[in-house]
Structure 1
Amino acid sequence: MDSDSNVMTIVILLGLILLSGYFSSSETAFTSINQIRLRNSAKKGDKRAEWTLKLAEDYNNVLSTILVGNNIVNIASSSLATILFIKYFPQYGVTISTIVMTILVLIFGEITPKAIAKDRPEKVAMFATPFLSILMKFLMPINWLFAKWNNSLAKRLQSEEKSISEEELLSIIDEAEIGGSLEVDEHQLIRSAIKFHDLEVDTILTPRVDVVAADLQDSDEEIQKIFDENVYSRILLYDDSIDEVRGVLHERDFNYYIRRKAKGEKTLSLTEMMKEVLHVPAMMKLSRLLKIMQQSKVHMAVVVDEYGGTIGIVTMEDALEELVGEIWDETDYIEEEITFISEDKYLVRGEASLEKVFDLFQLQNSEKFFSSTISGFVAEILGHFPKEGDKVIYKTMSLKVVKIKNTRVLEIIVEKITEFN
């Protein structure tokens, strides 16, 4: 009879260890669960997924139930094991029981079940849901007391950090892509949307030297030539200087003006035809610019400095491309900023990003150069406007200016060399 009771005690003990594993795996599963996957399964008609999702949304009660249950079975198993071992080893029963139960609970009640649950959280959570739901009803009074205690404690220890930072949000998005929850395109779009609010107009503007514009004093033939030689449907009109931009002229309106004039019919002047142009500061946020453009129903803005001088222009397309990536139209053509010549040797366009070139040569911008382009970097190192043939050596890079137009650097050959001292 005594032997039968010992067998029963061992069976109960094993059952309690299994329950400990059940509670431990449930805790990890509901902590790591992907509610988006569960929601998708529920939409496809999976009733167990729908049931599990309801429990996951009541996480505090689920956690209280799991912790209470786990503590009950662990205390019960330790007590039974102590009684059992004292019968056979009166002097060392407690010590042996502690050692054996610690090993068993760690392996079968903690490490193994948690590892399984971490690897397959949704499956483990759905498996655990039925019994956990029943247990939650039995432990409702205890859970209610714990909820009150948690709320009281939360009010006293309320954290000052009420929301996650941008860096934390970007990390979550990166992990979602690595885990397969987001496609590469979706991941890039969300990242761009988050970082969009930090970008300023000067990061995307077309510089002054590349702006296509006409003087209000130019003849019709000269303006027509500007349209013919460029692919843009709109050009700026200025009065004497590009710093005095007066408006935007659409090619369609100009053609209408020419036709009417050729027929001797009355028509508006170019000044009357041109559309009003926005003037925006270089430090304006892109999100603000886009909103203003939408409200004003314009596609182009002139970027000015603190003195009102023209720095460049920015278009709605430029702003949208920061969100959705390159938008190609019939006026676009592919022109590589960095062209491979031979091993460790590249032909780089002057407007290429300094950061891209540094990344290519595995360099850090430790000196925090003011310039953002490779041409500006060369000028900054030289201390004057570069000339064809000028050469600069910086760390493991040799940079030689090979093509210039007026004072503008068009092309530079960049080559990897041994560290320069």
Structure 2
Amino acid sequence: MLSGFYSSAETALTSLNVIRIKSIAKLRSGKKRTRARIVFNLVKNYNLTLTTILVGNTIVNLVIGTLSTILFVDSLKLGNIAPVVSTIVSAVLVLILGEIFPKSIAKMYPEKIALAYAYPLYVLNFLFYPLTMIFKLFQLKNESPTSSEQELIELVSIIEREGVLEKGERDLIESAITFDEKSIHRAMQPKARVRYIFSDTPAKVIREIYLKETYSRIPVVDSKTQEVLGILNIKDYITEMLQNKNPLLKDLITEPLYISKRTKLNQALELLQSERTHIAIVCNNKEKKDFSGIVTLEDILEELVGEIYDETDKIGLVQEVGTYKFLVDGRTNLDVLFRFYLKSKSPILKRSISVEEWYRFKTKNHNKAIKKTSPGFKYRNYRFEVAQVKKKGQVIFKVEVLTKVSLKNEWD
């Protein structure tokens, strides 16, 4: 029985959910609070606890072996074969009743077992403390971290599969964990895609850029040296132009902030915040200050939380409107939707078709007009519904990625 106690205690402490025990220990009141605090400290100082368990279990097993030998020699009069018989019997009993059975129970109910054993283990830790401290002197120090970022990501994935987290929440946590590993080049806009103006650009052109492209800030480049002179706030320029017909660019631009493309995203975010600016010039070499591209505060945040839309963004055929919820134009290529937006394998089809064509195929609606009330359907862990039908018959679909929790009550 005592051997089973120690064996089950060891299994329970290694199998329980430490985060849950810690949350119970933080409760203001409750019967489990004190026990949970003891258990948490036992796990926190697990090397000492394990030494106590092993010392206690060893003593118990030695006593069992000694008593069984005495029993078979003196009581049962087995003579010379008594030691062999006692060894076999005690080994079987210890294996079944002291190891397999108690450890199986503890594996099934680790929290209940650990909380039930809290006080006995606390007392035993105190009694065996001198012995455990002696053994501690011979233990090797583990200088490596107890868990890595990859293990933490795997833990988050397990929690998501259990239905505790939504897929979008899991991705947000994973993005936060790996945020300091990503470099600026992942978020930057290369020079070829950057809209910039020259120092001699006429006011009329700047006004047209503001009206057509709705940029709020734009780099100003020297037309001869191609060096970035500064960042122009176009709204300030337009305001100045209304008051003064010929504003000078050099009087309105602010000094550019240069960031190396090898800078980590978290460092770039801190730098933009400390400099109180929304845009930085990305360069290969900060000493030469070459113009490789730009990065904005929004670009960096999008690496963390996903695509950010504002009222000036042009919405394409696929628009992300929530946590793994999309509005999809029916004309969108089905393969593009699955591969680039849903990050999944496209349905195996003989030819390339649009989302609307595929919807008609799945709902067996080949000729009738699609309406707002037309039925939706589920494919894998994706739900497709008709979100809007425009005047010219253009159909907008709502596509939602279903989690393990939402699938339980999902319709087919």
Common topology (TM > 0.5): yes
Distance 1:57 1:184, change over 3 A: farther
Alpha-carbon distance in structure 2 between the residues aligned to 1:158 and 1:188? 35
In the other structure, the counterpart of 2:86 is: 97
Q: Deviations over 1:76-133 (max 9, x none)?
A: 2222333333443434333233223322222221122223323332211001113333
Structure-2 change in CA distance of 1:310 and 1:218 (3 Å): same
Tell me by how many angstroms 1:164 deviates: 4.9
Contact 1:341 1:347 (8 Å CA) reproduced: yes
The farther-off stretch of 311-320 and 80-89 is: 80-89
Verify: 1:317 aligned to 2:304, yes or no. Answer: no
Unaligned runs of 5+ in 1: 1-17, 362-421
Q: Report deviation, 1:360.
A: 5.6
> Quick one: distance in 2 between partners of 1:121 and 1:179?
18
Of 116, 129, 132 in structure 1, the residue corresponding to residue 121 of structure 2 is 132
Deviation of the 1:223 alpha carbon: 0.8
Deviation of the 1:183 alpha carbon: 6.0
State the partner residue of 2:36: 52
1:316 is aligned with what amino acid? L
**Distance in 2 separating the partners of 1:251 and 1:182:** 43
2:241–2:247 CA contact under 8 A, matched in 1: no
In the alignment, which residue of structure 2 is the partner of 1:405?
none
Alpha-carbon displacement from aligned partner over 1:239-263 (angstroms, at most 9, x marks no partner): 216932222222321221121025x
Match of residue 247 from structure 1: 230
Aligned mate of 1:80, from 67, 76, 84? 67
Which piece of structure 1 moves more, 274-283 or 86-95? Answer: 86-95
CA 1:170/1:23 → structure 2, altered by over 3 Å: closer, same or farther? same
Is 1:20 matched up with 2:35? Answer: no
The superposition leaves residues 326-372 of structure 1 with CA deviations (integer Å, 9 ceiling, x where unpaired) of: 33322333555999746xx65999xx79xx99x869xxxxxxxxxxx
Identical positions, percent: 35
* Distance in 2 (alpha carbons) for counterparts of 1:136 and 1:129: 11
Shift of 1:179: 6.2
Report the Cα distance in structure 2 between the residues aligned to 1:76 and 1:291, rounded to whole angstroms.
64
Aligned-residue Cα RMSD (Å) equals 3.4
How far is 1:228 from its partner? 1.4
Cα separation, 1, equivalents of 2:249 and 2:40: 66
- For 2:371, the equivalent position in structure 1 comes to none
> Residues 256 and 280 of structure 2 are in contact (CA less than 8 Å); yes or no, is this contact kept in structure 1?
yes
SS of residue paired to 2:214: coil
- Contact 1:204–1:318 (8 Å) recurs in 2: yes
Q: How many residues align?
A: 327
Matched, 1:107 2:96: yes
2:308 counterpart SS class: coil
The answer to whether the Cα contact below 8 Å between 2:188 and 2:293 also exists between their aligned partners in 1 is yes
Give the residue type in structure 1 aligned to 2:267: R
1:327 alignment partner in structure 2: 308
What is the aligned partner in structure 2 of residue 389 from structure 1?
A: none
Structure 1 residues 189, 241: CA separation in 2 closer, same or farther (over 3 Å shift)? farther
Residue 29 in structure 1 maps to residue 1 in structure 2: no
When structure 1 is superposed on structure 2, of 30-39 and 287-296 the one drifting more is: 30-39
Cα distance, 1:176 vs structure 2 = 5.3
Q: Deviations over 1:369-398 (max 9, x none)?
A: xxxxxxxxxxxxxxxxxxxxxxxxxxxxxx
The offset of 1:66, in angstroms, is 2.1
What's 2:349 paired with?
none
SS of structure 2 residue aligned to 1:249: strand
**Are residues 1:285 and 2:264 paired?**
yes
Q: Which residue of 2 aligns with 1:403?
A: none
* Corresponding residue for residue 300 of structure 1: 279
2 CA distance for matches of 1:181 and 1:127?
27
Is it true that 1:70 corresponds to 2:57 in the alignment?
Answer: yes
Q: Determine if contact 1:208/1:311 at 8 Å carries over to the other structure.
A: yes
Q: Secondary structure at the match of 2:197?
A: strand
Amino acid across the alignment from 2:62: I
Query: Could you say if the C-alpha distance between residues 289 and 241 of structure 1 is closer, same or farther in structure 2, counting changes exceeding 3 Å?
Result: farther
Q: Does 1:275 align with 2:254?
A: yes
Distance 1:334 1:248, change over 3 A: same
Q: Distance in 1 between matches of 2:161 and 2:62?
A: 40
Cα drift, residue 205 of structure 1: 0.8
Which amino acid is 1:153 matched to? Answer: F
The one of 108, 115, 132 equivalent to 1:146 is: 132
Whether the 8 Å CA contact 1:234–1:249 is kept in 2: the answer is yes
Q: Which runs of 5+ in 2 are unaligned?
A: 320-327, 347-412
Correspondent of 2:178 among 182, 190, 195: 195
